[in-house]
Structures are given as structure tokens and as C-alpha cells.
Amino acid sequence: MRPMAALRHAPIARAAQFRALAVSCGIGSRETAAKVAAVPPVSKKMAPGVLIGMSESDLQQLALEFGQDKYRGKQLHQLLYKRKIKEIQDLSQVPLAFRNELQEAGWRVGRSPVYKEVTAADGTVKLLLKLEDNRLVETVGIPVEDAKGSVRLTACVSSQVGCPLRCSFCATGKGGFARNLKSHEIVEQVLALEEIFKRRVTNVVFMGMGEPMLNLKEVLEAHRCLNKDIQIGQRMITISTVGVPNTIKRLASHKLQSTLAVSLHAPNQKLREQIVPSAKSYPLDAIMNDCKQYLLETSRRVSFEYTLLAGVNDTVDHAIELAELLHKWGPGYHVNLIPFNPIDGSEYKRPYRKAVLAFSAALESRKVTVSVRQTRGLDASAACGQLRNEFQKVPLLGDANIEESEQVEESELEMAVSS
């Protein structure tokens, strides 16, 4: 066995064993024992093998474990999140020996290649990223220039490969469900868009493929990284949900300053069940009560998403019923109206502009704050799941993996119903 050089690069568990042995047997000087005792503990947050998603302190810890100076971790942090390096060997500011050791130990950056890029006439960009298991996941970059000429860049990120909830108007649900995304697979979507646009992402919305609340642990870890490491303000981040029992309470307990957006799409339970099948397990009164408690606990108002479907939920009577529902559960709510973005094979149609304006006016006249989302990227298949469905009608993997995905989907739905 090599002497101190081997000890320096050995796992922390072995160092701890050596320390205990030295103390119990009286071997070595006090100075030697003190040096061994000073070996820092392994960070509990460290995700073995993947650098993306790790904090600066995690990366400093990693550098120490490989016998490097602590500042090497800060260098790694800058290279990953500012320069967006994709491969271990391209981390050129750190020593070659360190890079080799990271690679030999199985570490990787954790970035995925862009499988397809589509740009719309309005500047909206949709990317398909090819994950390590050959699954495809979407992310959308939406640039908006204000009156002063400054550009806001919003990243619409996915939290799952597909979605098990299958809302009737959504292209993602029609494409099936494969698995949850890992936190680094969420974070890398933002980094990929920043590379394409050559500018910082200013806003993030968890409104892409998937139901974020069915993957809350990874979503919260990605949220931490986006806020702390990529430095996007919490108030610039929105987490959207169609509603999963008990998860709004769990999210409230973290007391984030981010916005919670709840997809209602209907002013009553019967119509909501028609549009959102999963609503059967989460009654409208229950979800509204959870939203009320969320406001009380976080002091952050809840935003309600409402997709307008022509002839289904877009009449003035629907608007009046929606206003009554919101007033019943208290103040502090906002409604974001979303004219339906047409998708292939859907029975739903986009409402006329006159119907959208009448719906909005009916809410405003009843003192409900409302906004109408500008439709972007129609010529880039920008509705959630559209582009992915064009290239991946079924998972790229074999039948065994498809069967496994279906089993995962069933277990996710069972969890939503039973929780």
C-alpha cells in the first residue's frame, strides 16, 4: 500500500477507520492523528457521479476528497454554471491529474446533447434533449422584449418524461409517461437555453412536460440549484400543478418565495373532471382549501391557470362561476387565461379572441385580477409535448422498458389517489 498519498485519495470511510484504529491502538503522533481527524466529512447532499446540481460547498468538498485545494471547487462551480462546460476533460482550469481522477472515479458533468432545435418566427425556441437512457424531454425558451428594450428570457422546463395525469387537452399526456426527471436533468434545461440564446435566463416556469408535484423532491432540489447556483431569484420561479393531494401542503412547508400556479381549467367539479381526469381524486373544494392555507402559510398569492377551450369552458357564465368560486375562498388570487394552443388529434379548438376578451372582462368586473397569456411559438410546436410526440411516439427503448414505464405510471397514479 502506498503511504500518505494513498490515504489522501482514499474514501472518507477508510480515513475514519484509520483514525479510529490509530486512536485505539495509540499508533502515530498526535500531529498525525489530528491531520487524519481533520479530513472533512462527506456532504450528504452530494449526488454521486453527477456534477450538475451540486452547490459550491459540495464541489469544494469534492475537491478536498480528491486531495485538491478547496478553491478548486469554486473553479468547478464557475466552469459548470457560468461557462457551461459539458465534459470533465474540458474543465481546463483545474489540473489534468484532478480531471483524470474524477473521470476514473466515474464522475461526469451530467449534460445531455440537443437532439432537435426548432425556432419560431417570434423567437421562441423549443429544444429536445436526449437523456442518457435515450428518452427525449422538451424545454422552451421564450424571449420577451419590454418597452425599454430589455429582454426577459423565460425557460419553461419539464419535470417528467411525459406525464401520467393525461389532461384531455394536453399533448404531453397523449405521448405517455416514462419516468421522473432527476434534478440535474431539470437544471440542464436552463443551461442549454442559456447557451442557445447566449444570455441569462431571467424566469423559470415548471410548466413543461410532467406534473412537478409527482416529482417534488427532485423539483425542490432543482429549484435550490436554479436559485443559489444559477442565481435566478425565487420570485422569478413558478411551480405549476394540476393538483395532487397533500402536495400543496408539503410545498407550503418549505416557505418558498416562488409562485404556485394551480391549473383549474374549470369553475366546477363536474366540468373539471371532464377536462382533468385526475380531478376525481382531488375535489375542487379540497384543492381550493389547500390554496387558501398555502396563502396563509407563505403569504404568497396563488395564481390559477385556466386554459380556454372553445365551447367547453369559455363562456361568460363560466367566468361568473369562476369569480364566485374564488371569492368564496378568499382574496389574493390571480387568474392567468390561456387560449388553447391547438394540437394534432385533439377535439378541442382555440376560442375566438372575442370570447377571450369577454371572459376576461367578466372576471375583472367582479374584481378578480386577470391576465391573458400571449400565445408563443405556434409554428414551433410549442405546446407542451407536441415536438416530443413528433419524434418519439413511443419510448426509443425496447418493449421491456415500455412495460416498465407503464408500471411506473400506474404506481404514480396510485400514489396520487391514496395520498
Active-site residue numbers?
138, 384
Q: For residue 369, report the phi and psi dihedrals to the nearest 5 degrees.
A: -70, 135
CB 120 within 8 A of CB 128: no
Cα(370)–Cα(306) distance, integer angstroms: 10
Q: Are 243 and 211 in contact (CB under 8 A)?
A: no
Distance of CA 147 to the CA centre of its chain: 30
Backbone angles phi, psi at 346, to 5 degrees: -95, 140
- Three-class SS string for the chain? CCCHHHHHHCCHHHHHHHHHHHHHHCCCCHHHHHHHHCCCCCCCCCCCCECCCCCHHHHHHHHHHCCCCCHHHHHHHHHHHCCCCCCHHHCCCCCHHHHHHHHHCCCECCCCCEEEEEECCCCCEEEEEECCCCCEEEEEEEEEECCCCCEEEEEEECCEEECCCCCCCCHHHHCCEEEECCHHHHHHHHHHHHHHHCCCCCEEEECCCCCHHHHHHHHHHHHHHHHHCCCCCHHHEEEEECCCCCHHHHHHHCCCCCEEEEECCCCCHHHHHHHCHHHHHCCHHHHHHHHHHHHHHHCCCEEEEEEECCCCCCCHHHHHHHHHHHHHCCCCCEEEEEECCCCCCCCCCCCCHHHHHHHHHHHHHCCCEEEECCCCCHHHCCCCCHHHHHHCCCCCCCHHHHHHHHHHHHHHHHHHHHC
146 with 383: CB under 8 angstroms?
no
Show the cell assigned to 319: 367566468
Instruction: List Cα–Cα distances, 75 to 91, 93, 150, 227, 374, in angstroms.
Output: 9, 7, 30, 19, 40
